[in-house]
Amino acid sequence: MRRRSIAFVLGFVLLSQILFAQADSTQKILDEIVITATKTKRQLSSITVPVTLIPKREIAQVNGHRLQDVLAEYTGLTTTSSPLGAGIQLQGLDPEYTLIMIDGLPLIGRLNGVLDLSRLSVANIAKIEVIKGPSSALYGSNALAGVVNIITEKPKKRQQFSATAKASTFRTFDFSAQAGIYSKKYKGILSTNYYTTGGYDLASNYQGYNISTDYYGKTVSPHHNYSLNLHQDLQLTQKIDLLLDSRYFKEKETYQFADKNHNLVDGTGFIKDYAVTPMIAFQLAQKLKTKAKFTHNQYRTETQERFENKSIYSYSLYHEKYNLFEIQNDYRLSKNHEFSLGFGYEKESLKTSRLSDNITFAADNKYVYAQYIYNRNKKANFVLGARYENHQNYTPQFNPRASFRYKIFPKITVRASVGRGFKKPDFKQLFFNYTNNAIGYSVFGVKHLEQGIYDLLQKNEIAKDPDTGTPILYPDYQNIINNKGLLDAESSIGTNLGIQILSFKNTKIDLNFFRNDLKNLIEIVPIALKTNKWRAYSYINKRRVFTQGAEFDIKYFVSSNIKISAGYQFLVAKDKDVLSAIENGQIFAKDLTSGVSYKMKKSQYGGLLNRSKHSANLKLFVSNFWQQTSANIRVFYKGRFGFNDYNNNQLLDIDKEYIPGYFLVNTGIQKSFFDKKIMVHFGVDNVLDFTYATPEYTISSLPGRTFFTSLNYKFNSK
């Protein structure tokens, strides 16, 4: 009886809020400012490309530690985890095809293409803007699937200070503090964060394995890091503004593993990342704004791995330097016509122990981009842009993009965009010079191929044809040489078509269809047979794939303090060459029980690995329902996805090759005291305690149920 009456009262409270507290919250969203879509400030309602905006408020509700914790909560932003770190899969494309930026500047330090999102604390983020679809027309390489731009916190009050302490399961602690001042002349804000975690081990769930020698070490190893960010803004005159952004990051990780002979190895890894960015913005004329920026960024990792007797197992160094100089002019001819013109020069260098003889590889890039925005009226606008770049190491790239928005009816808006995106070849594909001495194969980047093969011929390490006595070089060797050692950038054409429906002033529905056609994907191919029966390999542009699907999002503001949202993504991603090979009857699979081969059918092909056809989320937020208390519950579904090949055709086709779909439930409750000066937060992530760990595949980002609590203090002067 008692239980029933509580439910009744709660139900009544909710109902009264639904009835009496109608609010126009969708308009608030549409008024938000977006900068990433056009590299100029614009209202969300006038943006022509698909955008996901993640405001500070929602980041606080999730209360995650690192960037991937926040991104994973949004439709179409699938996070991936691998030994290379946490990445993001956008529109079905791998992490290497999404550009990650902080305040409009790209982050460096990608390992095999993956930029580890866990390097980034969420403590000083004001908002995150995610643009979906190719954005190379503004940002160049890697912006194929889209762009994630992290906008850091800027001072807003004369004096402001905040501090947060968080603790969660697995001895994870997170401390951050922020202090800022604001005056007409000078604005500055300093943010710091310290994060430490004890890590966790999922291998202990395995059956029948000797964990101490087969799976020595943890799934996620203990590590700790510091971040420091300083933003300064000096208004020199009314027309000249000087800015200086600096950031510093340092991490240390300790880990263990067993080598192939079950010898235990202890490793220590260090990461250092820092950047300094001075900028100057000036207004030469009423209609002309100019912004010039320079950035110097260094990313360095060093790992040392030793056996138990302290002898060295391996040592590696990776040191990347990046300099960028860019000028952008924005000219506003009238209310209807806006132009932007930008120039840039990038200089990169890399020193790494993975290139023999410690070669330093350097690359220069010059680019120019232009954009024209036509605001026809309040109902329609049109954006046309293109970027041309001339890089030392690959063919010049021209990336146009066209997009428009049209409000067909007062409540219905359509958006369409089509653009080209590209990703440059990485240093490995260009300059690698590597021979595995333990096994015997060799890998050469295309720029080193001729020299590498010449060296092998000199040492008589290339096998010779017995009949003719000529060295055995495969056709792709000649193909690469014919290309003069040039590797083309990987490129795509992406199309997005969306419709937005606003109804009853408190519902917002977004539906977006996307298709990306990628070509020239770089693949490793054999180029010669060595006398030791192993092969030498290099890289060539080969594969063609496509991804397509639809994204659906609905937000319903039940009242000013109750919000329900739901999202769903449908995704198909396949290799075009595999599809045509299946059509030609050239793809086979093996029946696992009998071992007999059969011809694969198109309907059996599951597409690219690690992609869920279906993923969905459902969230309920209730704010301030009782004495400054807010709560939320968020449910996520990730449909089954392929992870490996089991029937020996290197393709995804049988059930055993999929990880089954799963649900995650996260929940949190927060209460503020003393006029919102103090906020206490408590929550449980992964309430259902879902984990997946087998020797074949482990979802390393899911340690099971975790509890967290945090305390936040905030002081703002008037």
Partner 1 sequence: MKHTILILAAFVVFISSCKKEVDPVVPHAESKKVTNLYAPADVRDQTTGEITQTNPFVYFSFAKGTAVDSLDSWDIAFKGTVIITNSGISGTGQAKSTIVNSTFDDLTEAPADSELKEDSATAYAIPWGSGNGWYNYDPTSHLISPIAGRIIVVKTNDGKYAKMEILNYYKDAPAQPDPTVDQGSTLTFNFVYQDNGTNKF
Binding residues for partner 1, rule: CB under 8 A, are 260-261, 438, 463-466, 472, 529, 531, 533-535, 586-590, 592-599, 646-650, 695-696
Residue among 534 and 546 whose Cβ is closer to partner 1: 534
* Residue (475 or 595) nearer to partner 1, CB: 595
Residue 593 C-beta: closest distance to partner 1, Å: 5
| Shortest CB 482 distance to partner 1, Å | 25
Q: What is the DSSP letter of 63?
A: T
User: 537 with 531: CB under 8 angstroms?
Assistant: no
Length of the chain: 718
Residue whose CB is less far from partner 1, 381 or 647: 647
Q: How far is the CB of 314 from partner 1 (least distance, A)?
A: 15
Q: Nearest distance from residue 655's CB to partner 1, in Å?
A: 13
Give CA–CA dist 668/671, Å, rounded: 10
Least gap, CB of 441 to partner 1 (angstroms): 9
User: Is the CB of residue 90 less than 8 Å from the CB of residue 142?
Assistant: no
CA distance 204 to 679: 37
Nearer to partner 1 by Cβ, of 311 and 594: the residue is 594
C-beta closer to partner 1: residue 396 or 695: 695
> Is the CB of 136 or the CB of 647 nearer to partner 1?
647
Report the alpha-carbon angle 560-10-504, nearest 5. Answer: 30
Residues in contact with 451: Cβ distance below 8 Å, sequence separation at least 6, in sequence order = none
- By beta-carbon proximity to partner 1, the closer residue of 454 and 598 is 598
**Is the CB of 194 or the CB of 588 nearer to partner 1?**
588
Measured CA to CA, the distance from residue 703 to residue 619 in angstroms comes to: 22
C-alpha dist (Å) from residue 284 to 291, 329, 336, 372: 11, 10, 21, 20
Between CA 163 and CA 239 the distance in angstroms is 35
Identify each DSSP E strand in 84-169 by its residue range.
Answer: 85-90, 98-102, 105-106, 125-132, 146-152, 159-168
Whether 642 and 652 have beta carbons less than 8 Å apart is answered as yes
Which residues are registered as beta bridge partners of 127?
55, 151
Rg (CA), the chain: 27
Instruction: Determine the angle formed by the axes of helices 449-458 and 475-482, rounding to 10 degrees.
Output: 130
Q: How far is the CB of 463 from partner 1 (least distance, A)?
A: 4
Closer to partner 1 by Cβ: residue 209 or 715: 209
- How far apart, in whole angstroms, are the C-alpha atoms of residue 83 and residue 608? 19
Least distance (Å) between residue 191 CB and partner 1: 41
Which token pair is 500? 């937005």
Which residues make Cβ contacts (< 8 Å) with residue 98, sequence separation at least 6?
87, 88, 90, 142, 143, 144, 145, 146, 147, 148
Shortest distance, position 257 Cβ to partner 1, whole Å: 12
Q: How far is the CB of 598 from partner 1 (least distance, A)?
A: 6
Min dist CB 87 to partner 1, Å, is: 21
Q: Which is nearer to partner 1, 52 or 435 (CB)?
A: 435
Minimal distance, residue 643 CB to partner 1, in Å? 13
Helix/strand/coil for 578:
helix
CB 242 within 8 A of CB 250: no
Nearest CB to partner 1, comparing residues 125 and 600: 600
Identify the residue whose tokens are 């507290």. 21
Torsion of CA 568, 569, 570, 573, to 10 degrees: -170
